[in-house]
């Protein structure tokens, strides 16, 4: 697994702590992340900096907890922009977040397959 996208040490710790619930944790993260992305796009469409900041902050935290380091970093950038109410031009950053999440999704699904 690419440590650029996902910290393998964090995942190893989660696997050890969660044991039989590890696959459920991965599934929950993926489902929850889809919802967070939807909220980010909705906030963008409504030009709602507060909603964008809250959604980006929440997504950043869950990504960080799961070891999705690059995704967490991108969410922090988005959170910072929203905090400064600089929503003009967030579309490219949101696109980058979506592309990075697509990579993380593939990596986590592979991880799930290996640890049934």
Residue pLDDT, tens place only, 75-85: 999 999 999 99
In angstroms, the Cα distances linking 104 to 14, 51, 99 are 16, 24, 9
Q: Name the residue ranges covered by the structural domains of the chain.
A: 8-114
Q: Of 41, 42, 13, which is closest to residue 101 (Cα–Cα)?
A: 41
> What pLDDT does 14 receive?
96
DSSP letter assigned to residue 6: S
> Structure tokens of 89?
């031009």
The model carries a pTM of 0.93
CA distance 43 to 18: 33
Topology annotation, domain 8-114:
1.20.120
Residue pLDDT, tens place only, 9-44: 999 999 999 999 999 999 999 999 999 999 999 999
CA distance 38 to 64: 19
């Amino acid at each position: 697994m690419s440590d650029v996208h996902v910290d393998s040490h964090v995942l190893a710790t989660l696997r050890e702590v969660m044991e039989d619930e590890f696959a459920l944790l991965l599934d929950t993260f993926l489902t929850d992340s889809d919802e967070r992305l939807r909220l980010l796009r909705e906030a963008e469409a409504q030009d709602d900096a507060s909603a964008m900041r809250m959604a980006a902050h929440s997504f950043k935290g869950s990504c960080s907890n799961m070891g999705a380091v690059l995704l967490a970093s991108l969410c922090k950038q988005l959170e910072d922009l929203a905090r400064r109410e600089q929503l003009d031009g967030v579309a490219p950053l949101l696109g980058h977040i979506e592309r990075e999440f697509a990579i993380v999704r593939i990596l986590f699904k592979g991880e799930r397959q290996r640890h049934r």
